[in-house]
Structure 1
Amino acid sequence: MPAAPRRTRRRTYGLLSAAAGLATAAALASALPADAHESHHHHRPGRYQDVQLLSFNDLHGNLEPPSGSSGRVTELQPDGTTKTIDAGGVEYLATHLRQARQGHPYSVTAAGGDMVGASPLLSGLFHDEPTIEALNKLDLDVTSVGNHEFDEGARELGRLQNGGCHPKDGCYTDKKFKGADFPYLAANVLDEKTGRPILKPYWVWQKKDVKIGFIGVTLEGTPGVVSADGVKGLQFKDEVETINKYAKVLQRQGVRSIVALIHEGGFPASGAYNYDCDSAGAGSGVSGPIVDIAKNVTPAVDALVTGHTHSAYVCDIPDPSGRPRMVTSAASFGRLYTDTTLTYDRYTGDIARTAVKSANRVVTRDVPKAQDMTDLIGRWNTLAAPIGNRPIGYISADVGNTGTESPMGDLIADAQLAHGRELDPRTSLALMNPGGVRAGLTYAAKGAEGDGVVTYAEGFTVQPFANTVNLQDFTGAQLIQVLKEQVSGANAAAPKILQPSANLTYTLDLTKSGADRVVTDSIRLNGAPVDPAATYRVATNSFLAGGGDGFPTLAQGTGDLVGADDLSALEKYLTANSSAASPLTPPTANRITIVQ
C-alpha cells in the first residue's frame, strides 16, 4: 500500500518546562444532550462534530510482527468460545490506521506511553531511533511518556524528542536523526531542581473550530520499575492531582474537551480483547490502579487512554460526579488499536459524553503491508543483520514466557547462577524478575535461520535492558523475606513472582493472603531447608539489586560484585549447554509448587 500523505504539523517541543504562570481555577462545562450526533449544513457546520480518536499503547519498539504469544490476541466468539488471531507489526498497523482514517476528516492519533524501551534488537540496538522514525510515518499526533521512556534517562528521552546523534554511538546513517514529529507529554515528571515538568504537560489538537486538549502522565511509581540511573534527578507526582491541575489550565485557555493519556492501567476480567467490560455494570469488568484513578480524575476530562498493564479493555468507569466515562487500553506491541468517536459540541466546546463510542480493533496481518514501513524495516535490518543473525545457541522446543513461573524465566535464572559461580564459586542461587523477561524463544525457523537456532537478535528481544548480573550476600532470613515480598508490601495486590534457579524450590499457596502465600517451611535450597542464620550468595540483575520491582530487601545485600551484562550471561550459558546436535531442552517450570 502506498504511503499516506504526510500531514503538516509544527516541529516540537524540547525538554523544557511549560508550567510557569498556570492558573488554578475553571468552571466545568454544562450538561450535554444524550442524543448528540454529527449534523451537516451546506455552508455552516452543525452543532455536533464527530472526532475520530485512534489510540494505542506499549508498542515497545515492536516494528516487526511479534512472535509467539506476544503476536496473538484472543477473540471472544458469539457462542462463548475463543479463538486466537495473529496480530501486530508496524507494516500492518500503518495500513490499518490509514484505512481507519479514510472518510474521517476530523481524526487525531494518540498513544499511552512505552512507545520505546524493552525493544527488540531492530530498534533497541539503535537506541529506538527506528521506532521514532516509524511513529513519525504513522502520523502519531501525541503521546504520554511511559516508564520505559526513562530506561536511558531524561537526557536520552530529550534526544528522542528533539533529535541529534547518540552521544556515545554517534550517527547510524549519513542523515542526522531528526527526532519525534509529535510531542511527548510528561505533566507529572518534574525536574528536582526546578520543580517544573521536563516536557510539555499538555497539547491542544485543533482543526478549524474544534479543539481537544491532551494531558499526558506516567505512573507515579515509575522509580520502582526503572533503574535508579534512569530517573536520577526526577520527581514523579500523583497522576490524579496532576491531571486535575492541568485540566483547569486547559479550561482557562478555553479548551473544554480534554483527553488524559495515562501510562497506568488495569486488569480486565477476560483476556479477550472484545470482552464486554460493562456487562455487569459500568466498570465492573476491570480492576487495578486505573479504576481509582478514573474515579477521581475531574469530570472535566472526557476520556482516558491508558496503558502499562498490556491489557485490552474498553470500559465505562464513573467519574467523581457519577457519570460514565470511557477508559481504554489497546494491549501491547501494536496488536490492537482503539477507535473512539468523540462527539464535539460546538455550542459548548465540550464532548457530548453520552455519545462517545469506542472499540478495540485487531491489527490483522491479512491487509497489504505499508511499503514505507517495509522499506524502513529493511534499511535498519541491513544495519542490524551482522550482529542480529549470529547464532548463540540451540533449543529443542519453544521456551515459553507465560505463567506464574515460566520456562524462559527459569532459563535466565539458571544462566545467571552459572555466571555468578564463574565470578564467585560461593554463589548459592539466582532470582530473576518476571518483568525483565520480555519474550520467549521460538523453535520454528525465522527467515534464513534453521529450526531451533537461537540468534543474538532473539536473545536481545528476551533481555534488552543491558542490566548487569550482580552478586550480593544475604542471610537466610533476608532470603525468606525476599520471597515473601513477591506477594506482600508493594506487590500485595499484583504479585511479582521471581523466577528461581533450578536449585531453589518452594510452595506458593494462593488460597492464602499476603506474605502467608509463601509457605516458609517448604523453601528448599539444594534440597535442604534455608537456614535463617546462614549467609547465601545470591545472583540477580542490577535492577533487582537496587531494590526494584518492590523488593526493598534486595537493596540490603553486602559484598557486592558486578559481573557481565545479563544477555552475555544468557548467551554464554546457551553456548555452553547446547549445540545443533544436542539442543537445550526447555526447563519444565516446576520449581514453584502452586496451590490454588
Structure 2
Amino acid sequence: MKKPLLMGGLLTLGLAACAPNMRGQGNVVDVAVLGVNDFHGNLAPTSFSGVRIPDPADPTKQISLPAGGIEAIGGVLAEARRQNSNTIFVGVGDLIGASPLASSLLRDEPTIAAMNALDMKLSVVGNHEFDYGLKELRRMQNGGCDSNDPAKACKFNPTFTGAKFQYLAANVIEDATGKSIFPAYSIQNVGGANIAFVGAVLKETPTIVSPEGVAGLTFTDEAEAINKVIPELKSRNVDAIIALIHHGGVIDTTKEAFSTPECATLAGPIVNISNKLDPAVKVVMSAHTHRGYNCLVNGRTIIQGDAYGHLLQRVDLRIDKARHTVLGVKASTVVVDSTKVAKDPAMTALITKAKALTDPIANQQVAKLAVPQVSRTANAAGESPLGKLIADSQLAATRDAAKGGAVVAFMNPGGIRADLPVAPKADNGVTFGDVFTVQPFGNSLVVLTLTGAQIKTLLEQQFDNSGVTGQTRILQVSNGFAYKFDTTKPKDQRVSDITLNGQPLNPTASYRVTVNSFLADGGDGFTVLREGQSRLGGELDVDAFQAFIKSNAPVAPSAQDRITKLQ
C-alpha cells in the first residue's frame, strides 16, 4: 500500500487515484469512500499537531499544520470526485455538538447545511448528536424551527430544512416504540455497486452525555445490532458492507503514526467490537477517540480520521458486482492541509455567512493573558495548564458560602475542547469566542457534598473508565488539592497522599465539591458523584471561566504540580 501524501496535489493512493481505467470495467468497479468523524462543527481550520512543518522563522523548529475546515474539505472532495466519479462521502458521528461559536450559536445548522452542500449521503449518530435530546436530533434530520433553543434555531436560515443525508442508528432504541430511532443501514448505489452502510454508536453513550439528552432511549451492543441486520443485507445481494461505528481506539504512537498503513498496534473498544462482527463486514470506519489510524485487525480494515476534519478517512474498494464480492480494500488517512488545498467557493460563502452572524459576539475581548496561549495538553500525570485554570475558575465561582462554600473543584478533560485562545493573537488577547470554544457545552456548575472516602473513590474511578471513554481521563483539580497515583497498584489502591491545603484528606469528613452538571450526573464514568448530597446549582461554566480570567488578568499558567504520577 502506498503511504499518503499531504494534500497539495490530492493524496495519491492505490486504487481510485490511478488512471481512469481503474474506475471499473464491466462487472468490476472501483469505489472511493471518504468519511469525516468528530467534526464538531469546526467550520474553520484548526491546528493539527499530527503533522509538523518547518517554522519559517526558525528552520530548527517545527509548527503545527492548519488543517480541516469546510472550505478545504470541499476542495479534497472535489478533487477525489474528479479522479473517480464513483466517490461517496459519509459521516462517522459527532458532526455536531461541542462546536465552536460560529456553528453552535446557530444551533449547528451551518454544519448541517455544509454537509448537505458537500453531498454527504449518510452518517451514523455520535454521542454528541444527543447533546440536546432526541427531539432536537430529529429536527436536525427533518428540519423545522420547533427547537428547544428558539433563540438559536433558524437564525442561519429561516427555513431550516434539515439534513439531506440519512442518520443511522442500529443500536439506539426508543423505549416508547421499541424501534430504532433511525434506520440501521442505508444501501447506496455507487458506480452500479450496492454498498450497505450499517451504523452504531457506542453503547456507553448514556454515561457520557447529559441524562436528559438520552431520556427514554436504550443503547444496545454495537456488534450485536450490526450483526442482526446482516442476513437481511445478504438477502438483498449487496456488494459490500461497511460498518460505521462511533467508537474507537488508540495506536502506540511510539511505534506507528496515523499514516502507517495496515498498522498493528490498535487497542481499545473498537477492536473488541470488530472481532465480534460478522465476516461479511469488510471495513470498519470508526470515531470517538479523535485519533487517526489505519489498521488491519484480524484481516479487517479499521480506520479513523483525526478530529475536526484534520484527517479524512478514505477507503478504496474494488468490487465485483456480478459476484457481489469485494476483490480488494485499500485505505488511507487524508491530511486536509488548508494552506494548500483549493478552497470550495460555496463553502467559503457559507462560513462567511455564519461568521457574519456570530462574529459580533465572538470578537468581544474578555481579557489578556500573560502568555500567547494556555495549552490543554496534559503532562505525564494527566495535568494540563488549561485544565488547572478552569478548575480554579470553578472553585472561585463557588467558594463563597452563599454560592456553595466549595473547597475543591474537579474538571473533566473531555470538556476542554481547545487551547486558550484557539489561535494566539499579537496582543495575547482572549475573546468570548475563544472562551466559548474551550467550553461549548453550556454546563452549569454544581456544588455537592462528598466524604473524603468518596473523593478517594472519585479519583480511583479515573483508572476504571477507559472502557467508557476509550482512554483514561484524569480530572483536573483546583489549587490547594494534590495527590499521587501509581498505575501499577491494584484496583482501588492506586491513589495516595491526598491533601487539601496541605492537610491529609479525612475519609470520614464532609467536603463541598464543585463539578459541572455533566460530571454531577456521573458523566465519563464518575458514578460516585451521583451520591453527592446537598446539591446547589450555580452559573454556567463558561461564565465562571470568563469572569475568572477577566478578574485575574493577565493570567499565566502555573506549575503542573498538583498531580504526581509515581508509576
- What is the TM-score of this pair, normalised by structure 2? 0.89
Change (3 A) 1:416 1:339: same
| 2:181 paired residue number | 198
Deviation at 1:45, TM superposition (A): 4.4
Superposition pairs for residues 430-441 of structure 1, below 5 Å?
Answer: 430-441=409-420
Shift of 1:576: 1.2
User: Residue 376 of structure 1: which of 338, 350, 361 is its match?
Assistant: 350
The equivalent of 1:29 in structure 2 is none
Instruction: State the secondary structure of the residue aligned to 1:459.
Output: helix
Rate the CA distance shift 1:313–1:98 in 2: closer, same or farther, 3 A. same
Among candidates 112, 118, 125, match of residue 145 of structure 1: 125
AA matched with 2:430: V
Shift of 1:272: 2.8
**Match of 1:261?**
244
2:342 is the alignment partner of 1:363? no
Q: Which moved more, 1:482-491 or 1:568-577?
A: 482-491
Kept in 2, the 8 Å contact 1:74–1:272? The answer is no
Alpha carbons of 1:38 and 1:235: their partners in 2 closer, same or farther (altered >3 Å)?
A: farther
Rounded to whole Å, the distance in 2 between the matches of 1:75 and 1:259 is 32
Q: Does 1:275 align with 2:260?
A: yes
| Cα distance between partner residues in 1 of 2:484 and 2:409 | 17
User: Which of 301, 313, 318 is residue 326 of structure 1 equivalent to?
Assistant: 301
Query: Partner of 1:592 in structure 2?
Result: 563
- Counterpart-to-counterpart distance in 2, 1:109 and 1:413: 40
Aligned to 1:483: 459
> Counterpart of 1:586 in structure 2: which amino acid?
P
Once the two structures are superposed, residues 20-57 of structure 1 have per-residue CA deviations (whole angstroms, 9 ceiling, x without a partner) of xxxxxxxxxxxxxxxxx999699x94232111111121
- Give the counterpart of 2:484 among 507, 525, 546: 507
Could you tell which deviates more after superposition, 534-543 or 343-352? 343-352
1: distance between equivalents of 2:423 and 2:187? 47
Q: Alignment partner of 1:287: what SS?
A: coil
SS at structure 2 position matched to 1:549: helix
Q: 2:51 aligns with which of 74, 81, 85?
A: 74
Q: Distance in 1 between matches of 2:50 and 2:461?
A: 31
Distance 1:594 1:552 in 2: 23
**What SS class does the counterpart of residue 162 from structure 2 fall into?**
coil
Structure 1 residues 334 and 567: alpha-carbon distance in aligned structure 2, compared to 1, 3 A threshold: same
Cα distance 1:166–1:379, how it changes in 2: closer, same or farther (>3 A)? farther
**Cα gap change, 1:111/1:171 in structure 2, threshold over 3 Å: closer, same or farther?**
closer
Tell me which amino acid in the other structure corresponds to 1:464. Answer: P
**What is the deviation of 1:589?**
2.4
Equivalent residues in 2 for 1:75-474 (5 A)? 84-167=64-147, 168-169=150-151, 170-173=153-156, 175-207=158-190, 209-270=192-253, 272-278=257-263, 284-318=264-298, 324-352=299-327, 355-365=328-338, 366-397=340-371, 398-403=373-378, 404-422=382-400, 423-424=402-403, 426-442=405-421, 445-446=424-425, 450-474=426-450
1:139 offset after TM fit, Å? 1.4
Aligned residues: 532
Output the CA distance in 2 between the equivalents of 1:118 and 1:429.
26
Checking the alignment, whether the CA contact within 8 Å between 1:339 and 1:359 is kept in structure 2 is yes
- How many Å apart are 1:218 and its aligned residue? 0.3
Deviation at 1:76, TM superposition (A): 11
Question: In structure 1, what is the Cα distance between the partners aligned to 2:478 and 2:161?
Answer: 44
Deviations 1:470-517 (A, max 9, x none): 000111111111111111366698321110001110112234353332
Pair 1:174–1:104, CA change in 2 (3 A):
closer
Q: Aligned partners of 2:193 and 2:499: how far apart in 1?
A: 64
Amino acid paired to 1:544: L
Moved more, 114-123 or 263-272: 263-272
How many Å apart are 1:317 and its aligned residue?
A: 1.2
The 3-state SS of whatever aligns with 2:111 is: helix
Cα 1:506/1:50, change in 2 over 3 Å? same
Q: Distance in 2 between matches of 1:72 and 1:460?
A: 22
What is the letter of the counterpart of residue 417 of structure 1?
L
Maintained 8 Å contact 2:174/2:217: yes
- Report the Cα distance in structure 2 between the residues aligned to 1:267 and 1:515, rounded to whole angstroms: 25
Q: 1:387 to 1:262 in 2, by over 3 A?
A: same
SS in 2 for 1:275: coil
SS in 2 for 1:52: strand
Partner SS, residue 271 of structure 2: helix
CA distance in 2, matches of 1:358, 1:174: 37
Measured in 2, the distance between the counterparts of 1:358 and 1:490 equals 27
- Same amino acid, percent of matched pairs: 40
Provide the TM-score with structure 1 as the length reference. 0.85
What runs of 5+ residues in structure 1 fail to find an aligned partner? 1-36, 279-283, 319-323
Q: Aligned partners of 1:38, 1:363: CA distance in 2, in Å? A: 23
Deviations 1:39-88 (A, max 9, x none): 9699x942321111111211010111124xxx3323799xxx99853322
Question: 1:375 aligns to what SS in structure 2?
Answer: helix
Change in Cα spacing, 1:97 to 1:443, as seen in structure 2 (3 Å) is closer
- The amino acid across from 2:173 in the alignment is L
Alpha-carbon distance between aligned partners in 1 of 2:560 and 2:241, rounded to the nearest angstrom: 46
Q: Distance in 1 between matches of 2:215 and 2:158?
A: 31
RMSD, matched Cα? 2.4
In structure 2, list runs of 5 or more residues that go unmatched.
Answer: 1-17, 55-60
Q: In 2, are the aligned partners of 1:329 and 1:338 still within 8 Å (CA)?
A: yes
- 1:431 partner SS: strand
Counterpart AA for 1:357: K
What SS does the aligned partner of 2:399 have? helix
SS at match of 1:554: helix
Decide whether the 8 Å contact of 1:417 with 1:427 is kept in 2.
yes
Whole-angstrom distance in 2 between the partners of 1:451 and 1:209: 56
Q: Which amino acid aligns with 1:315?
A: C
- Cα distance in structure 2, aligned partners of 1:327 and 1:75: 25
Find the residue that maps to 1:438 and give its secondary structure.
coil
- Provide the residue aligned with 1:7 in structure 2: none
Paired residue type of 1:426: G
Is 1:534–2:498 an aligned residue pair?
Answer: no
8 Å CA contact retained: 1:87, 1:335: yes
